[in-house]
Amino acid sequence: MKLEKSIELYTKGKQHLVGAVNSPVRAFKSVGGVPIFIDRAKGSKIIDVDGNEYVDMVLSYGPMILGHRNAVVEKTIKKYLKNGYTFGASTKGEIILAKIVCDAFPGMDKVRFVNSGTEAVLSAIRLARAFTGKNKIIKFSGCYHGHSDALLVAAGSGLATLSLPGSAGVPDEAVKNTLIAEYNNIDSVEAHLAKHKDIAAVIIEPIAGNMGVVLPTKEFIEELRDLTKASGVLLIMDEVMTGFRSKFGGAQELLGIEADITCLGKVIGGGFPVGAYGARNEIMEMVAPLGPMYQAGTLSGNPIAMACGIATLKELKKQDKYKDFEKTAAFLEREMKAAAKENGIDLQVNRFGSMINPFFTKEKVVDFKSAQSCDTKKFKTFFWKMMENGVFLPPSQFEAWFLATAMSKRDIYKVRAAIKVAMKAVAKKHK
């Protein structure tokens, strides 16, 4: 595995980029070595600047659900590029994508497009406060909702990867209205609701994808919905990661609940910067120009991003690969567990739809605390052996792997072969 050109670019990049990256997890801090610089991608494969080819299980952290450069999507993008890139005015594509999204989420009458998941979430929080007239919010330890100040506490993912408890530059005043509960622990939510009467909303990832892949118990998620309704508190589902990844719609529907406000991103942009938040009319009509809650964005509803999103979702619905995702994820789970057992390695595997993640721990992973019991040194060894054997993984124990419809049986068997080699390497190095 040659990395000379990545090393060269990393050295050059440090001069004018912070750590030679534009997002911290890309820095490979938790797995060592230097960041891999990507040159191109097609279908299920991604190729770095040194010519190393990998089966891509990062998929830009979720958006590339059809794989890279899907022919239908690419043709659509090229068509719309000829019309111009951005207008600062409304386009037909915004209306088309809005209908597709709203139709896929029961209880969502209107949606507002923004430019990122972070922007969607901070807007949803503002909307919840405007609608309820209350200030406090409850979030869960290990759930990541973007890097806005009020939510950058106990945030899992990149912060866990870098072993940072929060972020410098976030004043106490910014998080004074943020209450932290424990994922899968309804008592921790009830305690906050009993103590505070000015809670506007509870925000949660329906499947926590930023501490690995952590699923809610049926009792917890249903009790959370009942409790918020009874307390007059809005439930915000952050489906930036899970939206359209387990079904054509949201994970919340599979869990048997309905959020008051839903946040989206990633897949709905098909690879372009897009976020969205949506809710029933009563709530969304608080947003300007219909109501007093102001939120705006010059590039919101960008015509190219809308075209890519429309093409991606239409093609995704046409392909309807969700049963295949389930079979593939189950297969990979069996293979990882078998390889770990054969080599005497403690391993847990969590999965949901097209998301999967192995945890190097003997403890069942149900929340952020149990996720942190993982042996990250073993993951580091596993990660590099997978890379050396042609599988591109997120460089963090606390990030989900993703599946794409473009992945073939040959790709899956290559991942299986890499897993067997990597598990042997882990056993040999960490006796």
- Looking at the structure, tell me whether residues 14 and 89 fall in a common domain: no
- Looking at the structure, tell me whether residues 159 and 12 fall in a common domain: no
Note the helical H segments in 287-360. 303-319, 322-342
**pLDDT tens for residues 169-204?**
777 777 788 899 999 999 999 999 999 999 999 999
For residue 12, count CB atoms less than 10 angstroms from its CB and return exposed for 0-12, middle for 13-18, buried for 19 or more: exposed
- Looking at the structure, tell me whether residues 336 and 238 fall in a common domain: no
- Looking at the structure, tell me whether residues 57 and 94 fall in a common domain: no
Express as a percent the part of the chain with pLDDT over 90. 89
Q: Measured over all CA atoms, what is the biggest interatomic distance in the chain, rounded to whole angstroms?
A: 63
- Looking at the structure, tell me whether residues 64 and 151 fall in a common domain: no
What the block records as the tokens of 336 is: 């990882």
The last residue of a domain, from among 287, 318, 349: 318
The last residue of a domain, from among 288, 318, 348: 318
| Domain boundaries, position 197 | 71-318
What the block records as the tokens of 109 is: 């009458």
Given the structure tokens 């690419």, which residue do they identify? 74
Whole-angstrom distance between the N-terminal and C-terminal Cα of the chain? Answer: 25
What the block records as the tokens of 170 is: 């976030």
- Looking at the structure, tell me whether residues 108 and 244 fall in a common domain: yes
**pLDDT tens for residues 314-368?**
999 999 999 999 999 999 999 999 999 999 999 999 999 999 999 999 999 999 9
Averaged pLDDT, 280-290:
98
pLDDT over threshold 50, residue 48: yes
Contacts of 376 (CB under 8 A, 6+ apart): 30, 360, 397
CA neighbours closer than 13 Å in the CB half-sphere of residue 82: 5
- Looking at the structure, tell me whether residues 262 and 392 fall in a common domain: no
Sheet of 261-265: strands edge to edge?
A: 110-114, 275-279, 261-265, 234-238, 199-204, 136-140, 178-181
Query: CB–CB of 160/211 below 8 Å?
Result: yes
pLDDT over threshold 50, residue 62: yes
Confidence of residue 165 (pLDDT cuts 50, 70, 90): very low
- Looking at the structure, tell me whether residues 62 and 196 fall in a common domain: no
Number of Cβ within a 10 Å radius of residue 225: 20
Given the structure tokens 């409304």, which residue do they identify? 90
Residue 221 CA to residue 99 CA, distance in Å, equals: 27
Query: CB–CB of 178/204 below 8 Å?
Result: no
- Looking at the structure, tell me whether residues 190 and 284 fall in a common domain: yes
- Looking at the structure, tell me whether residues 271 and 140 fall in a common domain: yes
- Looking at the structure, tell me whether residues 149 and 298 fall in a common domain: yes
In the residue annotation, 238 being an active-site residue is answered as yes
Q: What is the domain-level CATH number for residue 388?
A: 3.90.1150.10
The last residue of a domain, from among 278, 300, 318: 318
Q: What is the domain-level CATH number for residue 158?
A: 3.40.640.10
pTM, two decimal places: 0.94
Residue 125 CA to residue 109 CA, distance in Å, equals: 18
**pLDDT tens for residues 223-273?**
999 999 999 999 999 999 999 999 999 999 999 999 999 999 999 999 999
- State which H helix or E strand residue 275 sits in: strand 275-279
- Looking at the structure, tell me whether residues 327 and 183 fall in a common domain: no
CA neighbours closer than 13 Å in the CB half-sphere of residue 411: 19
Number of structural domains the chain divides into: 2
Annotated catalytic residue within 266, 321, 378, 385: 266
In the residue annotation, 144 being an active-site residue is answered as yes
pLDDT over threshold 90, residue 164: no
pLDDT over threshold 70, residue 155: no
Express as a percent the part of the chain with pLDDT over 70. 97
Annotated catalytic residue within 238, 260, 367, 411: 238
Annotated catalytic residue within 61, 144, 183, 277: 144
